[in-house]
Chains A and B, each alone.
Chain A
């Protein structure tokens, strides 16, 4: 084999190795979310059940919380399972006090988020639904005047997570921040789906 042949043979081997590496890398990146043993929904299910607002422990070293939790933000969680019921989040919030709500799939990805600025006259009223539940509500609803002032949110998956966050700007304000996140009601709401 002459030098040119050797070079081309080596180049072919390197190219083939890089092709295999690229394929393995892409497959691994796409497969990791499916291979995780316990997603956030499963981890939080150890603390609470769907349709109930649950205050999470205050962040501290070793606390059983998701990584990178903010030590200056109180957090409550409400899981939802739309296979049988919808989920209603409602309550009165403080004026000009930051409050954040994020609606997530069971693997923690945000599909909708809002802050207290979205409240109407300090009231939040959100109904989380599956597409079939929304269809049922819309077909059985009367006139528009009868419709309640609520935000209807169609979840992309049957199960998911709602997080309610309130900052505690000063250490002494932590109890108030916890009270603000727990003031929102989170409850399952039956919707008859034919």
Chain B
């Protein structure tokens, strides 16, 4: 590298300038600049892909296995959420309508395995109405023979103490069975309608949301 050389005497500098001007040196410098540009572009695009497609990162808040974007239904929407919505075409809930939160894995931190059964149980923040549904990561409903795509707060079977358990499994289970069909990948979406939560001033805590526990795998 010529421009990182130590400062020398004038004759030495002239000599190095002559070195730099040789075709080989010019080609080497050009190659380095090209490599930096190509590597930078690829890295920048990879970062963009991860930020947009994985649904995590800047603009996302994690609460246990659940994630949400506080700015998504507001006029102060952040550029990452704006890009994510433009890419997906999703029409999210407005902040005054409610909050949508997504789980891509269980409470132990593992991504959902379609070969396993999961139980969703615990508290749900106060809301006038809530729903829990299974989607592909792209947002499609997951086809299944039972024709059930989710549960609502009104139809769910509860225990004597008011608690509930929803079993997410490909095969029928007693109780609140939410089939995930033959999906190779799936996510759970919990929507809290007309909730008093203000997640911009007070971020949700994972303990305020249902736990997701892996039961058994085939």
Contacts and interface: CB of A to CB of B under 8 A. Distances in A.
B94 A98 contact: no
Given A33-B82, A169-B153, A61 B94 contact: no
Contacts of B92: 68, 108, 110
Given A25-B48, A36-B87, A115 B82 contact: no
Given A17-B40, A29-B51, A72 B152 contact: yes
A110 B74 contact: yes
Given A8-B4, A20-B44, A59-B149, A167 B131 contact: yes
Given A5-B1, A70-B133, A36 B86 contact: yes
B82 to A, nearest CB: 6
Contacts of A73: 131
Interface stretch (B107-115, B167-175, B187-195): B187-195
B12 interface: no
A110 B44 contact: no
A13 interface: yes
B87 A32 contact: yes
Interface string B177-190: 00000000000010
A8 B153 CA distance: 61
Q: Is the interface of B mostly helix, strand, loop or mixed?
A: mixed
Interface string B22-52: 0000000000100111011101110110011
Interface stretch (B139-147, B197-205, B209-217): B139-147
A118 B128 CA distance: 15
Interface stretch (B62-70, B95-103, B118-126, B157-165): B95-103
Given A16-B36, A39-B86, A114-B96, A98 B193 contact: yes
A68 B85 contact: no
A175 interface: no
Contacts of B150: 70-72
Contacts of A168: 152
Nearest to A169: B154
A24 interface: yes
A30 interface: yes
B44 A9 contact: no
A13 B36 contact: yes
Chain A, interface residues (CB within 8 Å), range: 35 or more
Interface string A23-42: 11101111011001011100
A66 B194 contact: no
Contacts of B207: none
Given A169-B153, A170-B152, A29 B193 contact: no
Nearest to B135: A68
A165 interface: yes
Given A59-B141, A115-B96, A170-B155, A29 B128 contact: no
Contacts of B73: 102, 110, 113
Contacts of A22: 44
A130 to B, nearest CB: 17
A169 B129 contact: yes
Given A13-B32, A72-B152, A108-B91, 8 more contacts: A21-B47, A23-B40, A33-B82, A68-B90, A108-B85, A110-B92, A113-B96, A117-B194
Interface of A: 1, 5-6, 8-9, 12-13, 16-25, 27-30, 32-33, 36, 38-40, 43, 59-63, 66-73, 98, 100, 102, 104, 107-115, 117, 161, 163, 165, 167-171
17 contacts: A5-B5, A9-B1, A20-B36, A21-B40, A24-B43, A25-B44, A27-B44, A28-B45, A30-B79, A39-B89, A72-B131, A98-B194, A107-B85, A107-B86, A110-B75, A113-B93, A167-B129
